[in-house]
Structure 1
Amino acid sequence: MGVGKSSLSSSGAQSCTLESTEYPLNVNLFDTVGLDSPTMNNAGYLDALVKAHELIVSLKNRGGVHGLLFCMKAGRVSNTMQQNYRLFYEFLCQEQVPLALVITNLENEENMDDWWTKNRAHIENSGIVPVTHVCITTIKGFQNAYQARYLESRKKVLNMLKELGDRDPCSVDVSSWFARMCKKLREFLVPTKGLGRSRQKMLQMLTKRCKLRKEDAVHLLQRIDADDVGA
């Protein structure tokens, strides 16, 4: 989930469709699913790229990205979480967009903020270094048992959104961002021998489903191939 004029977020573990849902508040939030499946076939890869392209175009049209919200349940950082972090923060946004960490499932903690004190070293040793964080619960519980903590959590998240929204947005270059996403999704999710990628199928996907002009699609494929050679 992201924030500002436009925003983007990676959740910890969902199927890799890169479907996004917009939440129109005072800021625009785009809730995106993350990576879950360890491998993907050619059709799934192309579907994921179409969703990625739609998301990136939406972000550009809304004026850029002010921040990333990386949401995770309290616990240990899994390999899937690390992949999501790298895909969205390092590769898609090239570490230029500030990332805020949202830790959930803390309604039973005596003090929700203590979780960060106890687990900060583990989070940062896993390579996730946010500019800010919140420790929250997202439920009110049976008979509103956690309502006070829920309201406290709501206030924390709103303050975080304001902090990120006050920053200057990072501009979105659709071609560059999409080329990086194409390459990294394939690297993460598709076994080298399992992807029957053909240039013609990629070209059809880019022109018919992503609505790119043929010359732009050809140029994009050339950029992806050049990145592969240089990798």
Structure 2
Amino acid sequence: MAEPIRVLVFGKTGCGKTSMCNTLANLAPEDDGYQRVAASAKGVTFECHTYKQFSYSNDKGKSIDVIITDTIGLHEHNQGTVPDKEAIKRLLEFLAESTKGYNLFIHVDEPRIMNTQKHNYDMFYEILGQRKIPIILVVTKIDGDAEVTFQEWPKENKHYYIEFNYKEIVGACFARSPKPDLENLYKKDREKSKKLVLQAIFEHGQGETVNVVPNMHTLVRTSINLWNKFLEFVGVEKNFIIWNEPLAQMLQEKWGISKQEARERVNNMMNPSKK
């Protein structure tokens, strides 16, 4: 029996990634396992969440099993639900326990390209996945009944994404509304979008599974690189590393080493010239 395709979903807070994950997993607001979404100023994805495995069959009758992980939202202000520093820490704690790895990254974002898109792409595809995990882009909040449809939007805008290594760009809309007339329209959009994204998962997610943090050394190196990338984004000196202790604690908890050894390993990685 084939192993399920493991998908890691990431994106900035409020881009619609949790709405997408709920839809792909066939979950409505009244269902167990549905993850809360809200149109508020603060994000609502407090922790990384892995959905129950589900199946998908394409138009040719071929089936796959899929397991989706929705990561914590990034790029919240310090007054947001989970500021970036804490979000990165929680993400790494989660990934340190994710021993089975991933087959595909899905980057979720909105139609307008912002600096946060390149930053998130670099953090996940370049640093976390080391360019070894295929990645697709899902652009949300596109109106399926507008002049530019889901299928047309990627074709008309793909030249803006030349610098990225996306295997595919998918236009989508996963919105919901409490107003029945509007919800009827949104429901059609969600079904179209769901099919397009699942087809992309089927097409690009069947390669080898890659464990993003297979050992202690990789966890420390990845942590440092992710943190430095964040500091670069907010305009702070790269050598201004302030979370040696949380990182050492992660090593202690995952690999059962002493506090002293954990601190030494982190310090050696952060200050290689002093080894």
What TM-score does the superposition give when structure 2 sets the normalisation length?
A: 0.65
Q: Does 1:33 align with 2:72?
A: yes
Residue 221 of structure 1: CA displacement? 3.6
Tell me: CA distance 1:208–1:177, structure 2 relative to 1, closer, same or farther (3 Å).
closer
Q: Deviations over 1:50-77 (max 9, x none)?
A: 42332222322xx2210100001122x1
Q: Does 1:122 align with 2:160?
A: yes
Q: Does 1:91 align with 2:127?
A: yes
Distance in 1 of aligned mates of 2:95 and 2:12: 19
Preserved contact between residue 136 and residue 149 of structure 1 (Cα < 8 Å): yes
Higher relative contact order (CA 8 A, sep 6+): 1
Distance in 2 of aligned mates of 1:32 and 1:102: 15
Residue 115 of structure 1: CA displacement? 1.1
Distance in 2 of aligned mates of 1:19 and 1:96: 25
Tell me: CA distance 1:162–1:203, structure 2 relative to 1, closer, same or farther (3 Å).
closer
Q: Deviations over 1:122-157 (max 9, x none)?
A: 122xx3221122211112551412333321111112
For structure 2, list consecutive stretches of 5 or more residues without a partner in the other structure.
15-42, 55-65
Distance in 2 of aligned mates of 1:59 and 1:5: 14
Which residue pairs with 2:12 in the alignment? 12
For structure 1, list consecutive stretches of 5 or more residues without a partner in the other structure.
none
Q: Deviations over 1:190-229 (max 9, x none)?
A: 4239947375x35653356666413355324422333xx6
Preserved contact between residue 13 and residue 80 of structure 1 (Cα < 8 Å): no
Residue 181 of structure 1: CA displacement? 3.0
Which residue pairs with 1:218 in the alignment? 264
Which residue pairs with 1:145 in the alignment? 185
Distance in 2 of aligned mates of 1:174 and 1:221: 17
What aligned pairs does 1:34-53 form with structure 2 within 5 A after superposition?
A: 34-37=73-76, 47-48=86-87, 50-53=89-92
Distance in 2 of aligned mates of 1:45 and 1:102: 22
Q: Does 1:156 align with 2:196?
A: yes
